[in-house]
Amino acid sequence: MTTCATELLDKLASRRAIVAVIGLGYVGLPLIRAVAESGLTAIGIDTDPTKIEMLKAGRNYLKHTGGEWIAPLVEAGRLRPTGDFATLAEADVIVICVPTPLTRHMQPDLSYVEATARSIAPHLAPGRLVVLESTTWPGTTTEVLKPILETSGLSCGRDFFVAFSPERADPGNAEYDATGRIPKVIGGDGAEAREAACAFYGLFVERIVPVENAATAEAVKLFENIFRSVNIALVNELKVVYRAMGIDIWQVIEAAKTKPFGFMPFYPGPGLGGHCIPIDPYYLSWKAKEFDVRSQFVELAGEINSAMPRWVVDRLAEALDRSAGTGLSRAHVLVVGIAYKKNVDDTRESPALRLIELLESRGARTSFHDPWAPVIPPTREHAALGGRRSVPLDPATIADYDAVLIVTDHDNVDWSALAEARLVVDTRNRAEREGLAGPRLVKL
Catalogue the active-site residues: 276
Angle at CA of residue 285, ends 283 and 288, nearest 5°: 105
SS3 string, the chain, reads CCHHHHHHHHHHHCCCCEEEEECCCCCHHHHHHHHHHCCCEEEEECCCHHHHHHHHCCCCCCHHHCCCCHHHHHHCCCEEEECCHHHHHHCCEEEECCCCCECCCCCECCHHHHHHHHHHHHHCCCCEEEEECCCCCCCHHHHHHHHHHHHHCCCECCCEEEEECCCCCCCCCHHHCCHHHCCEEEEECCHHHHHHHHHHHCCCCCCEEECCCHHHHHHHHHHHHHHHHHHHHHHHHHHHHHHHCCCCHHHHHHHHCCCCCCCCCCCCCCCCCCCCCCCHHHHHHHHHHHHCCCCHHHHHHHHHHHHHHHHHHHHHHHHHHHHHCCCHHHCEEEEECCCCCCCCCCCCCCHHHHHHHHHHHCCCEEEEECCCCCECCCCCCCHHHCCCECCCCCHHHHCCCCEEEECCCCCCCCHHHHHHCCCEEECCCHHHHCCCCCCCEEEC
